[in-house]
Amino acid sequence: MPYGGYGPVMAPAELSQRAAREDEASLQPGEEMALLRDRLDSLRAYLRDADRKRRAGDGFGRDCVRRTRGIAFDAEDVLDDLILHRQVSLKSQEYQSWRTPVRYFTGFITQIIARRGLSGQTARTKGMIDQISENQLYGRAEDTPSVTPASSTTAIAAWQADMENTVFDKDLEILKRMLANEYEDSRHQRFISIVGESGAGKNTLVKLVCNQISTKMDVVIRCDMQPGSSIGDLLTNVYQMALRQSADQCYELEVEKAGIDSIGDKIHGLLSGKRYLLILGGTSSKSTLNFVRASLPDNNGNGSRVMLILDTASEEVACHANTMNREGFNGVHLMTRLDQEKSMQLFYWKVLRKAQYEPWFLAYEKRRSQEQEVYQGGYHSMRRNQKEEEQEQRDNNVQSSVHNVTGGCPMAIVLLAGLLRFKENPVQWDAVMHPSGSSGYHYQQQQLGRTKRGMETIFWTSFEDLPDDLKSCFLYLAAHDTCQDANEIVQMWIAEGFIINKSPYHRKTLEEVGHDYLKELVLRCLVELEETKPDGSVGLVRVHRSILGFLQSEITEAGFMEIVHDVDVHDVIVPSPSVRRLCVHSDKSTMYTTHHKFPKLRSFICQVDEKRHKEAEAQQRWKKRVHNDLKFLRWSKFLRVLSVKGLRLVELPDEIGDMIHLRYMRLDCPDLRCLPPGIGRLINLQTLNISNTQVEEIDQSFWKIKTMRHVLAKSLALPAMCDDNDEEEAGSELQTLHGVKPVASGSGEWSPLDNNMTRSLRSLEMHGFEHVKHGGPAFEAALQNMHLLRHLSLQGDDIPSCVFTEPSLRCLQTMELSGNVKWDDIVLPVTDRPLRKVRPNLVQIKMNDGAISHMPQSIKQQLKEILVQG
């Protein structure tokens, strides 16, 4: 009998067989999917080649390239949709049950409809690719590989870390004289301005100055005024930085409630009687400088200084600051480009390893001294062997070439050195610096020949020299205009799929490969290293403002990402619906939400200044407390990266559990108190960062996500002991577990899911541990099995002695311990075997004053070089 006019009714057994066949078909990628991947690779090869030509100045086929890029994006969407459908099918099979036949068969029919719809979409995409192929739009494009593979070394320590004063020695001496207070007239407050173009080395010069005079100052404050920030923000930052260097903490909690005048008074009182050096960057208006001056004490002539770092466009501010000085003193220092000799010194300083630079510099200084003696009449001629003459000729050629290519701009010289660090000299060096010669560096020649000379030329040449996967990683940094944590960057790269482990036999994790990528960018001088960790690894990085401008222009042209800046409070985000990566930055807006849909979205990165919420509420711009939401992301089924900071989120939609492509989620939202139960459905989630929220508990299903690698929280309760009847085990890929606290189980045992989730841990930070209540012996046994652990931060009543004595924890590099240590259990084993042999990789151990005071002298003697109070 027909059912609704759609054919005969199937028997349950027949329908079950049909379901099995459909499920089997849904799990097989098939020839069509493989063919689509192959054709997508061809499109990507064409686009890589077209982008190289576009950056070289060739405008051929721009409309065609945009259309082809759109088809490539559509093909990626189809593939992601197929993956989504396959994973949903796998997940649904786990819940199949004849006890709920209606739900099962309804889901089965839905899957058939969805899969057939995908088949049609796949066919249409293949048709568009075939049409492009028939029209030979990309048949003549060659996918030229990168000029060089990844560098032969990623050891940053092999290169010079800090700039010597030989390049900026004259500038340094001038500034030191300005800062000196040896004479009566120089002991009054002075305003000193360092003015120069972007990339002239202003920040490098300031670092050199601080290294030499910081010990002569009571307080040294460095504060950069971000675009869009207010004078109140600047003064608050200055006050907080001064407070950290002061023993007086009485006003700290009142800063946010105070007005500009009040904060100025606090700064004045805090710095009175102290000799201070205040370094300000980004101060582009005279009124801002007037506010700063009104907040600072003159300190009765003790030699306090204010140093401004200004671009040439803000030279008027420098002149205004100079009027604040006493008559007869000029506080403006203009940085100029380097001459040929200084250009060569800076180039060799960056391009050569430490072991190479030192002998070169000694030979160079020897040659210079001989030339001076000849010039002064000491010699009639210089006696040199052939090797010395050849070296002199090479140096002269390099000196001329470097200055011609860079124009003496320090930033351009550094970029050139980073490009040539891993190339053979002289063949490959000549190919880059002399593009007119014949060589295989075809695209470098186009770059140097068709774009303007200077920093932009060298940057694009360096960019083209990057491997293709590293290009995507580098472009992703355009979303961040401030210092960024290296771990967060790598985790987002992994979530986007940029990191590919090409050396499986080396047994490197994706995180280790990602850090190698980041070190590669640092060594190429495309990314600046701002801070290193105690173990020597990369901590914080930033992209120079000039390079950031180039990156942001490229991501716009290539459709890689859209960046939205400073949308007003009543505006909404209205980028293109086809946007694939959306980044929102604002220091002005107070809320971000929209009713628009972004079905193609892969990454959503939002950074909003949360202080604007408080200011708006204080001014009663809204009658009630404002909260944001992320409901507009419900239609972004391909979302892989979700990073929000400053939004006032109090909850997440439960539908977020349907975004099974989501791999990275960072929620920097202090008002957020709970996460929906649906978070356990994010079967591909790798990173959850809720360290700046009030979330203290997560649904138990979350801890069963097998792909989870990093969990960072503030005070998150660990899961209770697994149920014996629960067949599903926790994932074993977890590497980071921060900001967690144990919970007391009924049996008083250690309970992180039977230790399944801790066996691969690299970093553990736990607080609130009580030895008796939380199963101390069980935790100590689990700790001994964490063979890969490198960082341990433990706060509790008793610290397990195994952290000092257990040989299996030999990978530990840093420890932060707060609690009672039973030194009697440690002295005897350490006496038999020195602690430095048990912990050969330990570079820092931080303990409170009480624990250090009770530490036996024999142990303290062994740890004196790495022991830190805190």
Q: Is residue 864 scored above 50 in pLDDT?
A: yes
Sequential DSSP letters for 403-457: HHHHTT-HHHHHHHHHHHTTS-TTHHHHHHH-TTS--S-HHHHHHHHHSPSSHHH
Burial 180-200 (b: 16+ CB within 10 A, else e): ebeeeebbbbbbbbbbbbbbb
User: What pTM does this model have?
Assistant: 0.82
Answer for the pair 346, 410: CB distance below 8 angstroms, yes or no.
Answer: yes
pLDDT of residue 453 exceeding 70: no
Could you count the other beta carbons within 10 Å of the beta carbon of residue 301?
13
Peptide bond into 719 cis (omega under 30): no
Q: Which two tokens stand for residue 702?
A: 């979350």
Tokens of 250: 């009485």
Report whether 138 contacts 293 (CB < 8 A): no
CA dist., res. 368 & res. 251, Å (int)? 57
Cβ neighbours of 46 (radius 10 Å): 25
The residue ranking higher by pLDDT, 244 or 794, is 794
Lowest average pLDDT, out of 426-430, 627-631, 751-755, goes to 751-755
The β-bridge relationship of strands 484-485 and 538-542 is antiparallel
pLDDT of residue 309: 93
- Res 426 pLDDT > 60: yes
153-194: pLDDT as tens digits: 456 666 655 555 578 888 888 988 888 866 656 678 889 999
CA distance 265 to 259: 10
Q: What is the pLDDT of residue 146?
A: 41
Q: Does residue 546 have a pLDDT over 70?
A: yes
Q: Is 340 exposed, middle or buried (0-12, 13-18, 19+ CB in 10 A)?
A: middle
* Better-scored residue on pLDDT, 163 or 803: 803
Residue percentage of the chain with pLDDT more than 70: 69
Least confident interval from 178-187, 593-602, 630-639: 178-187
Q: Which residue has the tokens 């509420």?
A: 617
pLDDT digits (tens, 9 = 90+) for 409-422: 999 999 998 998 88
Q: What is the pLDDT of residues 489-536, one digit of tens each?
A: 999 999 999 987 766 556 788 999 999 999 999 999 999 998 888 888
Say if residue 60's pLDDT is above 80: no
The CA–CA distances, whole Å, from 248 to 242, 245, 299, 715, 770 equal: 10, 9, 18, 29, 34
Exposure string over 282-293, b if 16+ CB within 10 A, otherwise e = bbeeeebbebbe
> What pLDDT does 782 receive?
84
| pLDDT at 658 (0 to 100) | 86
**pLDDT beyond 50 at 95:** no
If you average pLDDT over every residue of the chain, what do you get? 76
SS3 content of the chain, % helix, strand, coil (to 5): 45, 15, 40
Mean pLDDT in residue range 747-765: 74
| Range in 37-41, 85-89, 696-700 with the lowest mean pLDDT | 85-89
